[in-house]
A and B are shown apart, each in its own frame.
Chain A
Amino acid sequence: MRDESSFLQPLGAALKSLILVAGAFIMVFPFIWMIIASLMTAGEIQLRPPVWLPAEPQFHNYTELPQKIPIARLYFNSLFTSALIVFGVLLSSSLAGFAFAKYRFPGREFLFYLILATMMIPFFVTLIPVFFIVRQLGWIDTYQGLVVPGLTSAYGIFLMRQFIITLPDELIDAARIDGASELRIFWRIIVPLVKPALATLGTFTFIGAWNNFLWPLLVLNSRELMTLPLGINSMKSLYADNTNLLMAGTAVAVLPMLIVFIFLQRYFIQGIALTGLKG
């Protein structure tokens, strides 16, 4: 034990807790304020001097939302398109990662370096051409226009290859001796062993797709296809004068995801350590 620490310990610990509490308060406050404001009347938000709580919680701010905004539809669109993207990325990344890790074929190194090179291309450089391609295909304002460009991920292929390459070859050889087909080896041996990596990749792909704004903004026009971020964006103008309703709408768009996160937070955070610091 240190000498100085026994003397300064209580003081340091108190200061530490104070900083952590202050930081956490700042982090949570915007969410709390969103909920409080969502329960106020439009007048209460503009009162001078300001009020900190609604005189009476206006729950009808929430119950009236679906008349103006197709909340269920927004949720369906976001879930449906994000799920397709996650499925595509997981399947394509693990299949290609498997091939790059465990097969020898002419052009393997070349193709793999090609994929590594594309990992460094930022989205904004390809935005205009991809938009053009999607338009030429007649996919503007369709689900496939939103989903198809996101079905593969160079990063995902790289990540899965790095995981699969650590698996012993003997497992695959043994399965081959037993007469298993290549697809069966992939499905029965590889996939179960890389489940943690798939969970991580899936989680982050999902969050990315779920929160994506710029691409859906460009591709989608009609209300029926809008995803949640587009819904929030259109509420901004719809409720420009009713901040209470805007906050209610935003809360409905954001809170369910946060609740899911709180239950699954362990996996999220393990996943970050896994992907951020590996490879």
Chain B
Amino acid sequence: MIRVASLGGKQAWLPDIPKTPLMRRRMLWAYAFVAAPVIALVVFLLGPILFSGWVSLHRWDMLSPVNEMPWRGLSNYSYLLGKDPVFIKSLRNTFYFAIGGVGANTILGLGFALLLNSPLRGRAIWRVLYFMPVITAPLALAVMFSFIFDRNFGVVNNIITGLGLPRQPFLSGPNQALLTLVFIAVYQYIGYYIVIFLAGLQGIPQDYYDAAQVDGAGRIQEFRYITLPLLRPVMLFVVVTNTIGALQVFDLVFATTGGAPANSSMTVVLHMYNTAFKFSRMGRASAMAFILFAIIMLITIAQVRLLQDRAYGD
């Protein structure tokens, strides 16, 4: 599913240049159609990623001229991985955030999709309700939840203390901030994954279930031997996209805790943002970006291998 569809026809990297003037004119049109987007992608994506890699080997504050950046070799990388406790902490936090969020979104998303997949009145209304946070700006959700989980005036603490339980710090507690952020992130995206799982479930032919029932399979067996295997591609999509997104979290953390207290909720992209745009250390920040990029690539490859092998493992 994430596989790239074949380009069709011969895999020629350089097909013959068309002979007739008419075909040549068409070819020129094709170049005209792709020119602007290709140039834009080179200027705003490919060029920058190369430049970013170059910067990560230097010391640069973005103000001094590009050709006078002092060379630092790999020292930005070795500093980050060896001497920067905040970076290591932010990596750990980011993993925690991603694992918690992806796990919960996958299990709850599939669970709710199963509930919504059976005959149900007003399915559209349920979908709308679960989907509302998906289209809401993360920044607005951050503001809403900062208030809801507020230590003194938050509604969750109002309920907790109303029940006679002790007040909780949530976003302001070193042991609770990250977990609270996971909750908000799951709240935000679960509707999206419910819809994806629902589409996947509706793509499974009813015949399979009918046949299983003739053979006397129970509900759990049906789920184990029909639903789950046939849902593998969807599962792969959910796990991969959710992991990639979660490892890049910024808005939510920036607007709730800002990484506090004591960096207990600092994430990599927020740390990178601070390093680059607060402290003007572009080299170090670029190195951070590359480390996270490499991690994302490795995790994605591992996930695709793991989930796809079993899906097509014959």
Q: Taking A104-B18, A211-B137 as contacts, is the C-beta distance between A250 and B144 under 8 angstroms?
A: yes
B70 an interface residue at 8 Å Cβ cutoff? no
**Contact indicator A33/B155 (Cβ below 8 Å):** yes
Q: From residue A189, how far is it (CB to closest CB) to chain B in Å? A: 14
- Per a CB cutoff under 8 Å, which of B17, B38, B153 touches A96? B38
- Per a CB cutoff under 8 Å, which of A108, A157, A235 touches B15? A108
- Per a CB cutoff under 8 Å, which of B47, B126, B148, B290 touches A30? B148
Q: Which residues of B283-300 have CB atoms within 8 Å of chain A's CB atoms?
A: 285-286, 289-290, 292-293, 296-297
- Per a CB cutoff under 8 Å, which of B130, B200, B254 touches A27? B130
Q: Taking A96-B34, A124-B289 as contacts, is the C-beta distance between A261 and B135 under 8 angstroms?
A: yes
Interface centre among B34, B127, B282 (most CB of A within 10 A): B34
Please, which residue of chain A has its CB at the minimum distance from the CB of B66?
A: A132
A165 to chain B: which residues have CB within 8 Å? Answer: 5, 8
**Contact indicator B129/A27 (Cβ below 8 Å):** yes
Please, which residue of chain A has its CB at the minimum distance from the CB of B8?
A: A165
Main secondary structure of the interface of B (DSSP, over half): helix
- Per a CB cutoff under 8 Å, which of B30, B46, B62, B255 touches A114? B46
A132 to chain B: which residues have CB within 8 Å? Answer: 51, 62
- Per a CB cutoff under 8 Å, which of A128, A135, A268 touches B285? A128
**Contact indicator B251/A213 (Cβ below 8 Å):** yes
Q: Taking A104-B15, A254-B136 as contacts, is the C-beta distance between A247 and B282 under 8 angstroms?
A: no
A118 to chain B: which residues have CB within 8 Å? Answer: 41, 45-46
A16 to chain B: which residues have CB within 8 Å? Answer: 115, 118
Q: Which residues of B176-218 have CB atoms within 8 Å of chain A's CB atoms?
A: 187, 191-192, 195-196, 199-200, 203, 213, 218
Number of interface residues of A (CB under 8 A): 95
Q: Taking A99-B30, A151-B40 as contacts, is the C-beta distance between A129 and B131 under 8 angstroms?
A: no
A133 to chain B: which residues have CB within 8 Å? Answer: 43-44, 48
B110 an interface residue at 8 Å Cβ cutoff? no
Q: Taking A100-B34, A115-B38, A247-B147 as contacts, is the C-beta distance between A233 and B139 under 8 angstroms?
A: yes
**Contact indicator B7/A112 (Cβ below 8 Å):** yes
B1 an interface residue at 8 Å Cβ cutoff? yes
Q: Taking A111-B34, A213-B251 as contacts, is the C-beta distance between A30 and B144 under 8 angstroms?
A: yes
In whole angstroms, what is the CA distance A161 to B119 when docked? 36
**Contact indicator B289/A125 (Cβ below 8 Å):** yes
- Among A53-61, A64-72, A191-199, A271-279, the one that faces the other chain is A271-279
A195-237 to B contact mask, C-beta < 8 Å, 1/0: 0000000000001001101100010000000001100110110
In whole angstroms, what is the CA distance A2 to B255 when docked? 52
**Contact indicator A122/B296 (Cβ below 8 Å):** yes
Listed A/B pairs (28) with beta-carbon separation below 8 Å: A19-B115, A24-B126, A27-B129, A99-B33, A106-B14, A108-B15, A109-B11, A110-B13, A110-B14, A111-B38, A115-B41, A121-B45, A124-B292, A125-B48, A125-B290, A128-B285, A152-B41, A211-B136, A213-B137, A213-B139, A213-B250, A213-B254, A214-B273, A247-B147, A261-B128, A265-B128, A272-B192, A277-B237
Residues of B at the A interface (CB closer than 8 Å) are: 1, 4-5, 7-8, 11-15, 17-18, 26-27, 29-31, 33-34, 36-38, 40-41, 43-49, 51-52, 55, 62, 112, 115-116, 118, 124, 126-133, 135-141, 143-145, 147-148, 152-153, 155, 158, 162, 187, 191-192, 195-196, 199-200, 203, 213, 218, 233-234, 237, 244, 248, 250-251, 254-255, 269, 272-273, 276-277, 282, 285-286, 289-290, 292-293, 296-297
Residues of A at the B interface (CB closer than 8 Å) are: 2, 4, 16, 19-20, 23-24, 26-28, 30-31, 33-34, 37, 45-46, 49-50, 92-93, 95-96, 98-100, 103-112, 114-116, 118, 120-130, 132-133, 135, 149, 151-152, 154, 157, 162, 165, 182-183, 186, 207, 210-211, 213-214, 218, 228-229, 232-233, 235-236, 243, 246-247, 250, 253-254, 257-258, 261-262, 265-266, 268-269, 272-273, 276-277, 279
Q: With A27-B130, A110-B14, A277-B203 given, can you name 6 additional A-B contacts, CB distance below 8 Å?
A: A46-B153, A108-B30, A118-B45, A124-B250, A211-B137, A214-B251
